[in-house]
Amino acid sequence: MNTYRMLIFAGLLLAGILNSAAQNCGCSPDLCCSQWGYCGSGDGYCGPGCREGPYAFFNGIVDQSDAGCEGRGFYTRAAFLEALGNYAEFGSASSEDGSRREIAAFFAHVTHETGRKMISPIM
């Protein structure tokens, strides 16, 4: 009888550990972490509530822009990747730091133009 109890306890413990481990995300770079903590692709994972992954940054830009902004749907990941394909020199400075600065400056501009102006006084 004790053996069965131990097996049931071990099974429940293992099920709990595996379930909680699946919810930690840490997805591969091509997958999104859904609002419920699971890795995958598609609207259920990369749509509203996406916590991390290739779409999270772009969803944040769109979500934070004013509803009346005419270009609100323009700054999507798909649109960015399509435009990127037309400009081979973008983000390919002579150093990795230079490339990061160029990309960061672009996204700062995008965020500014979508109405998310964050200017705080220097104290």
Tens digit of pLDDT at every position of the chain (123 positions): 555 454 454 444 444 444 444 456 888 888 889 888 899 988 888 887 888 887 777 777 777 777 787 777 776 777 777 888 888 888 887 888 888 888 888 878 877 776 655 555 554
Predicted pLDDT at 55: 74
Report whether 70 contacts 113 (CB < 8 A): no
Predicted pLDDT at 10: 46
Predicted pLDDT at 116: 57
Residue numbers annotated as active site: 113
Predicted pLDDT at 42: 86
Q: Which amino acid is at 3?
A: T
* Domain boundaries defined on the chain: 24-54, 55-116
Predicted pLDDT at 120: 53
Whole-Å CA distances, 119 to 102, 106, 110, 123: 20, 17, 15, 12
Predicted pLDDT at 7: 45
Enter the pTM of the model. 0.44
